[in-house]
């Protein structure tokens, strides 16, 4: 769904959507498993920076709720995860804050995003918000054994006959160091 400044000049945009799986691409490790319910409002905020300098900001407030599957960090099996959240963001035209030099930003400026070509895609904002709400690392279970680094078998469901990790020959000079230190 494209949210444009032209549409918002007429009136605020209210939306209540159910985005089906596949409408938003989250990357290889996250898959949406059901509809993502999204409800919110987009408003146009005109920022007057001078008599002829008006910046059209888009304020986007929304909430979302749905289900995704995330790959286990050890065995890569899909793990179901419920996502939900709310956001209140400001989007400014790309280039509106150019002043030619570097400067530090305030905490309130960290909440500002940028749009180009007169608008923004709601799906892009939702992708970012859903990904930010996910845990950094997900395990299918606490005692997940992961994959064998040699043959790639899932050690939770089968065992492998691979040798224990062989030592790197470059470390052989240090192998008997412990015994020499003790003597």
Average pLDDT, the chain: 85
Could you write out the three-class secondary structure of 27-79? CCCEEECCCEEEEEEEEEEEEECCCCCEEEEEEEEEEEEEEEEEECCCCCCEE
Mode of pairing for the β-strands spanning 119-121 and 2-4: antiparallel
% of the chain residues with pLDDT over 90: 46
Mean pLDDT of 129-141: 93
pLDDT digits (tens, 9 = 90+) for 18-69: 999 999 999 888 999 999 999 999 998 887 777 777 778 889 999 999 999 9
Domain locations along the chain: 2-133, 145-183
Q: How far, in Å, CA of 75 to CA of 145, rounded?
A: 7
Mean pLDDT of 134-138: 92
């Amino acid at each position: 769904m494209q949210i444009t400044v032209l549409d918002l000049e007429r009136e605020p945009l209210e939306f209540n959507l159910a985005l089906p799986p596949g409408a938003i691409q989250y990357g290889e490790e996250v898959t949406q498993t059901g509809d993502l319910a999204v409800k919110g409002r987009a408003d146009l905020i005109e920022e007057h920076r001078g008599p002829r300098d008006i910046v059209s900001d888009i304020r986007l407030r929304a909430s979302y709720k749905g289900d995704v599957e995330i790959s286990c960090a050890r065995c890569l099996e899909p793990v179901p995860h419920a996502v939900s959240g709310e956001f209140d963001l400001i989007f400014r035209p790309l280039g509106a804050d150019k002043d030619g030099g570097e400067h530090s930003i305030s905490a309130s400026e960290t909440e500002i995003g940028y749009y180009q070509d007169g608008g923004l895609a709601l799906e892009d904002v939702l992708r970012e918000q859903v990904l930010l709400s996910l845990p950094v690392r997900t395990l299918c279970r606490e005692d997940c054994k992961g994959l064998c680094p040699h043959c790639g078998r899932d050690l939770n469901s089968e065992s492998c006959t691979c040798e224990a990790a062989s030592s790197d020959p470059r470390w052989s000079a240090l192998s008997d160091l412990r015994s020499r230190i003790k003597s």
